[in-house]
Amino acid sequence: MTRLRPGLFRRSRRALLAGLVVAVAGAGFVSPLNASADPHPASDGWVKTADHGWIQVKPGTPLTATAKSAGKDAPHKAVAGKLGASRPAPAAATTKTGGRVTPQLQDGADPGTGDNGDGYVSNQYDLQMTYKGGQESTGVDIGPPKVYLVVWGSQWGTPSTNAAGDVVMSHDADQAVPYQQDFFKGLGSTGDTWSGVLTQYCEGIQAGTIQCPSSAAHIPYPKAGSVFAGVWVDNGAPAPQSATEPQLGAEAAAAAAHFGNTTEAQNRNVQYVIDSPQGTDPDTWRELGYCAWHDFERSSYGQLAYTNMPYLTDVAGCGTNWFGENTPRGRLDGYGIIGGHEYAETLTDPNTPGGWTDATGQEIADKCAWIPYGSNGGLFFENLSTGSFPLQTLWSNEEHLCVGASAGPVHTNPPVVLSTMCDRTDPPNTPVSIPAVAVDNTGSTVSYSATGLPQGLSINAATGVITGSAAATTGYTRITVTATDAAGKSASTGFWEGLFAGGQHGCGAIEQLINPGFENGSADVDHTVMTDSWSPNGYNLVTPSSLHSPHSGSWYAWLGQNTDQDDSITTYVNDYPGYQNESFSFWLDTETTNTTSTPDTLSLVVIDQYTQKPLGTVKTWSSKGAAAGYQQQSVDLTPFLNQVGWGTTLGVQLVAHESGSTPSTAFLIDDASVREY
């Protein structure tokens, strides 16, 4: 959910979380699917976004919310935590030019020059991908994939059309826009073995599953010429010089409105690639050290999957002339390598992190990023009908390898497939809108029916949307939805609808942390192994030590071991537009011998990803009067997210301070969790 950084080629944002369900009491969450009447009709171009509220989208008019300060007065350490992010390949040492900082070497990356044969295997843990259960009723794309290219900002100049029918821009120095169109147009053509690897992944199965049954809804192999769905030149005003995550999400919503994709069904298997112009710094990509990322947002148009695609040739480590061509076309290598990376991860994890990742949070392409050309599982060129494009391999669970062509079959779907539908809760006597989305592999229309609907709810046979106001009853009801095509072929799926006053409204919250229980292990302070998601600042802070006990499993975090520095662990959490509340919980055991009047403390601090500066201290725990044994702690992060805007990535840091000259308090932390509502 991933951001394309070295080792997280992303989010997608991507992505980053798992553990205990913690409800936010009285959160007052209002589902974006709420069907009650409002003064913002979609027919007039209104779309609801988390950061900007209701906006009226006009074709050709970009959103121009003020960019937040990105702290560009000083170089910043590249941060982890963006599931869906493509990291730069191994490159020469960081250099500073024109007040900008090129991406630094990332954890696990060997020094290199970018020469052919120079690189590293991003994933060194040999872990299979597992299914996370689906987020917001989405696990993978189950219908023909569609890509819309958004050329954002007047900096691109004026459009024209070349001999191949591609849109070209007068200020596109390296011709990145037509190259991307040709790549997506060529997918599914003769010679495209790469797309076949993706078909082994599916949804509608139990979380934790590794292999997909034939009856499941798989990612389909694309029909030749069908993937590229259109290009929008949004050049009515300049794109922001440093677009924030919320601004990028809002541009995706503007694109959905422009293309007329205004329902959940229309956006279900769609992704929007947001191309920023040369010289801009979207989401401070240079300072934060990634090449691209993919993400999603809730909106009144349904779930929108989109990619932040900077002007890749601005940074050499993002694939420019990666094979040593030193040609105009070679300069665009990154748009094949990285563009393909983000496309594949959006298909397998569109609503990060609800699709397919491994235990370290890496997605299908992260595991195979930047393996050298000519090596086993390395970069390769694929000849499509529209040209030859460099691609990276993709992880295959079936072969336990990084491959560019599957040795197994290209999987096909049953005649009718029906999207996963999430278990949810809603208040009684309140209007709801719950979409069911089916795909018929012949292109036939389907009709919908449902059983188990509470009194007051009904399903539209043509659209599959369940609407109405349920009666004032309390409890869970099992609803089964069936989609049937003209030939009588059908598919069914079920979900639990809970009717309760107060509490969460809408889909059940999914775990957002990559390694909530620290069970990935590692005692490596250099972060070259699995504890990167928590970034301990000292040796052996994440430990299986028998001197203390975990809350569960074998590993836990032990803060308070040092007096020469404060011990800390830090993780970064994706926060998605359209959500309104976020909780952080963990189990804490405070074991102390401190009898002085000055207690030892544990503080929870939240960090701005752009400036790397604290937004504030959420809460501080003390050794004084601490209860014995593990006690669950829960805090609300919502006020801090409201400072920076939903859609950003928030740093969460636990810091232990020992007041004396020798350690006297062990703050033991385990089974953390982040949930968004």
Strands 582-592 and 356-357: unpaired
Query: Are the CB atoms for 597 and 661 separated by under 8 Å?
Result: no
**Tokens 């799926």 -> residue:** 493
SS3 labels along 439-478? EECCCCCEEEEEECCCCCEEECCCCCEEEEECCCCCEEEE
Q: Which residues pair with 542 in a beta bridge?
A: 557
Give the pLDDT confidence of 125-154 residue by residue, as tens digits: 578 999 999 999 999 999 999 999 999 999
pTM, two decimals, is: 0.84
CA dihedral 102, 104, 110, 112 (to 10 degrees): 20
Where does residue 326 fall: left (phi above 0), alpha (psi -120 to 50 degrees), or beta otherwise?
left
Which residues touch 366 (CB under 8 Å, ≥6 apart)? 2, 7, 8, 9, 10, 122, 123, 345
Mean pLDDT across the stretch 165-174? 98
C-alpha count within 13 angstroms, C-beta hemisphere, residue 556: 23
SS3 labels along 236-254? CCCCCCCCCHHHHHHHHHH
Most confident of 152-161, 406-415, 526-535: 152-161
Give the pLDDT confidence of 606-652 residue by residue, as tens digits: 999 888 899 999 999 999 999 999 999 999 999 999 888 888 889 99
Give the pLDDT confidence of 363-412 residue by residue, as tens digits: 999 989 988 998 889 999 999 999 999 999 999 999 999 999 988 899 99
Q: Bigger pLDDT: 507 or 85?
A: 507
Beta strands in 429-581 (DSSP E): 431-435, 438-440, 446-451, 457-459, 465-469, 475-485, 490-499, 506-507, 542-543, 556-559, 567-574
Most confident of 121-130, 186-195, 355-364, 399-408: 186-195
Q: Produce one character per residue of 185-199: b if its CB has 16 or more CB atoms within 10 Å, e if not.
A: bbbbbeebebbbbbb
Give the pLDDT confidence of 537-564 residue by residue, as tens digits: 988 899 999 999 999 999 999 999 999 9
* Burial class of 113 by CB neighbour count within 10 A (0 to 12, 13 to 18, 19+): exposed
Kindly state the percentage of the chain with pLDDT values over 70.
80
> What pLDDT shows up at residue 503?
62
Mean pLDDT across the stretch 252-276? 97
Identify the structural domains of the chain with CATH numbers, from first to last: 46-61+89-402 (no CATH), 423-507 (2.60.40.10), 530-676 (2.60.120.200)
The average confidence (pLDDT) of the chain is 83
Give the pLDDT confidence of 591-604 residue by residue, as tens digits: 999 999 999 999 99
